[in-house]
Chain A
Amino acid sequence: MFDNRLFRPGGPVKPEEKDWPSFRGAINEAMREEMRRDPLVFQMGEDIALASPFGVTTGLAKEFGRERIRDAPCAEVAVVGAAVGAAMGGMRPIVEFQFGDFMSVAIDQLTHQAAMLRYLTGGQVSVPLVIRLPCGGGQGAGSQHSQSLYSWFAHVPGIKVLLPSTSMDAKAMMKAAIRDNNPVLFFEHKQLYRTRWPVPAEFRDADHVAELGKAAVRRAGVDITVVATLTMVHHALAAAEALAAEGVSVEVIDPRTLVPFDVDTLVASVRKTGRLLVVDEAYLNFGIQAEVIATVAERAFEALKAAPRRLGNPNVPVPFAPCLQDEVLPGRARIEAAIRQMMSR
């Protein structure tokens, strides 16, 4: 389903996908449109002007110049701090991290400064910034370049957390992130970068901006609700398609944003299906999967026909060797197996 050759340039595009925008191209287009619209938008990141490792900023330095597409040194604390200060000073910075795992290096600037300063100052400042965090496993990038750490940041107050899973969402949600007056983390699953998706007409509309906090029902069903994010949305859809042949009707919900979280769509779905499976690459302990299940338990416990289940990384680092990596990450086969087991009870 996904291209594992992310670190190799080029690669053929299937003929039927030729006119579909790629995921990374969608992000690029969103940023380009917003930088044309608003001169206060600018970017900082390592190598973003000359050779962004995943190509998301390709061509932007040529159009907007090196003042607005600023190559930053390998100094994440200073760069995130610069984004916070610049945002307080009226600019609208976007920061690229080469791997989202590196956010750990500058976590204070994000969780204590960007996220809290508005509150601490009694509403005197706003901190409109976007941090782009390539995330996720599947490319053999090793334990410190393959994580899905959004639960860390959804845990603390004051940060919006976005998880786009299609080209349409990548573009519309990036535009929403840039126009938002709060700190926003934009998680980009690396295996999605080269994927291409058919898009509705509004993809070409420069004024189309996503409404944050609205989950997408990717597939309607009546027997079980599967909540999945990023690549797991597509694994879940493939599993749902296979199970349809067995007579199991799976509803797939893509929350799209963890903060704000669309509780209503989730609860309505579980009230309909009575079963809940949550799938994510994130570590299972105290993570996104548990939060979703707890929310349903509080809001719709009486609707549950079976104990909810969760799939995720069973709390080991994402291994380097592909055979080990595949062992710890969920995917279509495990989703199918979990659904069959839940339906057999």
Chain B
Amino acid sequence: MRAMLLIRAVEKAWGDAYLTEEITGIPPSLSTGQEAIAAGACAALGDGDFIFTTHRGQAAQVARGLDPKRILAELYCRRTGYNKGKSYHVTDMTRGVVGMGGIVPAQVPIAGGMALAQKMRGTDRVSLAFFGDGASNEGAVHEAAALAAMWTLPLILLCENNRYCITQRDTDALKGPSIAARAAGYGLPGVVVDGTDPLAVQAAVAEAVARARAGGGATFIEAQCERLTGHLIHDTQPYRSREELESAWKHCPILLFGERLERERILSADERARMNREIEAEVAGAVAHARTQPYPAIHEAYEDLWA
């Protein structure tokens, strides 16, 4: 719950910074409605495992335990951000987080390569590639899945089906029963899971991780959810009806999980509110930190190209 609340708070701060024109450039891509997938998947991973994130990757970066101060510093284009202000796609190699997504499917084959390295070096570590329902139509995903099957790679292909590829409904492009159903064609186990339930996602990913660690190879997971905000924050979703959006919000993972924890007497509404206040204070501190950080020096435009 804490991870999901933190994701939403960090993303709200990022979105607000854009809407108030504190930051400019390409608008933020929020994961609102998808927090359970990042939180559940990262809870199933350990040290030395790698995740490869999408353009909508901040949720997983937060869930993997990266410091919101340095995430926001990066998104504020400051030199003390994780990538020294050079990318929207936050990376921390020491925590096994590779931020990608500028080119939609590209992280998936690369995650396969990291899995190959993990295997060839004799470790039991795994790699997990996040990608969206839109990316699932890309050849790069099909090739990477086929290669992962052929070489029994310790890879988890985690498709976040948030129902929309910008303005295109998933079912417009998908004519099979599900995206995960394609896994059978690659010779991989394919699983559909409720992407609004962090525990269900965690269980599915944990099973895939166990299979990969044991040498059983890759798993294709489709976590289904609803994208609640626009493709990027400036997108007001005029292509979706008010009724559809109202119905989608009923699938908000924070709402659903909060109700469940209350019902099961694990976390009361008051306790949740207190947790959220703590998180909001932490994120406000991170924003204040980001604002005070220096921009990159001009000469840094010419650095970090060559090893």
Contact = CB atoms under 8 A, between A and B. Distances in A.
A70 B151 CA distance: 10
A181 B111 contact: no
B305 interface: yes
Contacts of A5: none
Contacts of B82: 122
A42 B117 CA distance: 10
B117 A125 contact: no
A126 B304 CA distance: 10
A278 B109 CA distance: 39
User: Which interface residue of A78, A84, A86, A123 has the most chain B CB atoms within 10 A?
Assistant: A78
Interface in B129-180: 139-140, 143-144, 146-147, 150-151
Chain B, interface SS category: mixed
B56 interface: no
B86 A119 contact: yes
A83 B82 CA distance: 24
Given A91-B120, A118-B305, A119-B304, A73 B150 contact: yes
Interface string A71-111: 01101111111111111111101000000000000001100
Interface string B246-284: 000000000000000000000000000000000000000
B89 A82 contact: no
B117 A86 contact: yes
Nearest to A181: B307
Given A85-B109, A85-B113, A113-B103, A73 B146 contact: yes
B93 interface: yes
Interface bin, chain A: 35 or more
B102 to A, nearest CB: 7
Nearest to B140: A77
A78 B114 contact: no
B303 to A, nearest CB: 7
A77 B109 contact: yes
A306 to B, nearest CB: 36
B113 A82 contact: yes
B42 interface: no
B155 to A, nearest CB: 10
A85 B143 contact: no
Given A118-B305, A118-B306, A122-B82, A81 B113 contact: yes
B113 A84 contact: yes
A86 B114 contact: yes
B106 A109 contact: yes
B86 A88 contact: no
B102 A80 contact: no
A89 B113 contact: yes
Contact of A121 (B93, B113, B306): B93
A123 B113 contact: no
A157 interface: yes
Nearest to A180: B307
Interface in B81-139: 81-87, 89, 91-93, 98-100, 102-103, 106, 108-118, 120-121, 127, 139
A102 to B, nearest CB: 13
Contacts of A93: 113
Nearest to A113: B106
Given A84-B110, A85-B109, A75 B86 contact: no
B95 to A, nearest CB: 11
Contacts of A157: 305
Interface string B29-57: 00000000000000000000010000000
A81 B114 CA distance: 9
A112 interface: yes
A259 B116 CA distance: 29
Given A122-B82, A157-B305, A78 B146 contact: yes
Interface string A101-142: 000000011001100011111111111100000000000000
11 contacts: A78-B109, A78-B144, A81-B109, A85-B117, A88-B93, A88-B110, A91-B116, A91-B120, A112-B106, A122-B84, A158-B305
Interface of A: 42, 67, 70, 72-73, 75-91, 93, 108-109, 112-113, 117-128, 157-158, 181-182
Given A120-B86, A122-B304, A123-B304, 11 more contacts: A72-B147, A81-B144, A85-B114, A87-B113, A90-B121, A91-B121, A109-B109, A117-B100, A122-B82, A124-B93, A128-B307
Interface of B: 50, 81-87, 89, 91-93, 98-100, 102-103, 106, 108-118, 120-121, 127, 139-140, 143-144, 146-147, 150-151, 303-307
The 5 A-B pairs at the shortest CB distance, nearest first, are namely A85-B113, A81-B109, A89-B117, A122-B84, A78-B143
